[in-house]
Amino acid sequence: MTWFKNEPAYYEARLSKEQDKPPEELLDDAVKDMPPGSLGLIVHPYWTPPFHCDEARGSILGITMAHSRAHIYRAILEGLAYETKAGYDAIFEKTGIAINEIRVSGGGSNSNMVLSIIADVFQVPAIRMEESESAALGAAICAATGSGLFPGFQEGIEKMVHQKDRFEPNSKNRAVYETMYKCYQDFYPRVADLYRKTEKIASPKE
């Protein structure tokens, strides 16, 4: 998302400063009425390779003349949601523990589209927390508890952790996202060998 805001969405980034609005708000407006699945566009969001496949890189699959940069932005959000779900599926396979809601934090939680897409891909409610920086909030809870402001961590959590907005999943989007997620899961195995073959060209070592 940072790459997109700094590169393809440079106009929106500049406009956000002029209007004193977060760039996510302007980008949300551009994609909010687009259909789920971004007209068949899939983004592999490995701009920074994950630990388990160093050779991986970002990819955009299925682009046509019908796609705009707004479609690419939505597909990036969807790709991040697919990758998050892949991580959850791996955990669920090992633990059997199901989730009934997702709490979203960090910069991405400023985007309504991020919350909506997460809810639709997972088909559970997605919740925006009042404090988006969860790591800093956790440190503050530890400090407050350690200094004696709270008798224990549970009390600190109850006093300092609050929900802000709740996004319910749209059941009408379920079938589309199930299809797109299956395609996403099949994406990396099909291109992994190509990534390896071009790794030296993409990341030359001196």
146-201 pLDDT tens trace: 999 999 999 999 999 999 999 999 999 999 999 999 999 999 889 888 888 887 78
Q: Is the pLDDT of residue 91 over 60?
A: yes
**In one letter, which amino acid is 187?**
F
Residue 190 DSSP one-character state? H
> Using CA of residue 167, residue 24, residue 176, residue 94, what is the dihedral sign?
negative
DSSP state of 25: H
Cα gap 164→119, rounded to integer Å: 15
Is pTM, for the whole model, over 0.75? yes
Q: Is 144 helix (H, G, I), strand (E, B) or coil?
A: helix
Please provide residue 163's backbone torsions phi and psi, each rounded to the nearest 5 degrees. Answer: -85, 150
193-205 as b/e, with b when 16 or more CB fall inside 10 Å?
Answer: eebeeebeeeeee
Residue 67 is which amino acid?
Answer: H
